[in-house]
Amino acid sequence: MTDNSQKNVDLIIEARWLIPVIPRNQILEHTAVVVHQGSIVEITPIASARALYAPKKTVVLNDQVLIPGLINLHAHVGMTLMRGLADDIALMPWLHNHIWPAEQKIVSEKFVRDSALFGCAEMLSGGVTCFNDMYFYPQATAEASLQAGMRAQLGLVVLEFPTNYANNADDYIEKGLLIRDAWRGNPLLSASLAPHAPYTVEDSTFEKVITYAEQLGLAIHTHLHETKAEIAESVEKYGVRPIKRMANLGLLGPNLTAAHCVQINDEDLELLRSYRSHVAHCPSSNAKLASGIAPITKLLQAGVNVGLGTDGAASNNRQDVFSEMRMAALLAKATSEDATSIPSMKALEMATINGASALGLEHQIGSIEVGKFADLTAVRITEVETLPCFDPLSHLIYVCGREHVSHVWVAGDLRFERTGQQAGLFANIEPNELKDIVLLWQSKLNQHKA
CATH number of the domain encompassing residue 267: 3.20.20.140
CA angle 193–197–199, rounded 5-degree value? 145
Asked if 140 and 78 touch (Cβ cutoff 8 Å), the reply is yes
CATH number of domain containing 376: 2.30.40.10
Number of domains composing the chain: 2
Domain-embedded: residue 436: no
Quick check: helix, strand or coil at residue 3? helix
- Which neighbouring-strand residues pair with 307? 280
User: Hey, what long-range contacts does 248-251 have (CB within 8 A, 24 or more apart)?
Assistant: 249/203, 249/206, 249/207, 249/210, 250/207, 250/210, 251/206, 251/209, 251/210, 251/220, 251/222
Given its phi and psi angles, is residue 149 left (phi above 0), alpha (psi -120 to 50 degrees) or beta?
left
Q: Structural domain of residue 244, as residue ranges?
A: 70-358
- Residue 262 CB-half CA count within 13 A: 23
Asked if 144 and 117 touch (Cβ cutoff 8 Å), the reply is yes
Q: Is 363 exposed, middle or buried (0-12, 13-18, 19+ CB in 10 A)?
A: exposed
Other beta carbons within 10 angstroms of residue 219's beta carbon come to 22
Same domain assignment for residues 308 and 328: yes
Same domain assignment for residues 314 and 265: yes
Give me the helices (H) in 126-274, please: 138-148, 169-183, 203-216, 228-238, 242-249, 266-274
Ordered per-residue pLDDT tens for the chain, 450 residues: 446 789 999 999 999 999 999 999 999 999 999 999 999 999 999 999 999 999 999 999 999 999 999 999 999 999 999 999 889 999 889 889 989 898 999 999 999 999 999 999 999 999 999 999 999 999 999 999 999 999 999 999 999 999 999 999 999 999 999 999 988 889 999 999 999 999 999 999 999 999 999 999 999 999 999 999 999 999 999 999 999 999 999 999 999 999 999 999 999 999 999 999 999 999 999 999 999 999 999 999 999 999 999 999 999 999 999 999 999 999 999 999 999 999 999 999 999 999 999 999 999 999 999 999 999 999 999 999 999 999 999 999 999 999 999 999 999 999 999 987 667 899 999 989 999 999 889 888 887 665
Termini Cα distance of the chain: 70
Same domain assignment for residues 29 and 106: no
β-bridge pairing 405-410 and 413-417: antiparallel
- C-alpha 163/C-alpha 247 separation (Å) is 28
- C-alpha 186/C-alpha 392 separation (Å) is 35
Domain-embedded: residue 162: yes
Same domain assignment for residues 107 and 40: no
Q: Tell me, yes or no, if the pTM score tops 0.95.
A: yes
Domain-embedded: residue 425: no
Domain-embedded: residue 109: yes
Closest Cα to residue 74, out of 221, 244, 255? Answer: 221
Measure Cα distances from 381 to 17, 26, 45, 404 in Å.
Answer: 10, 18, 20, 7
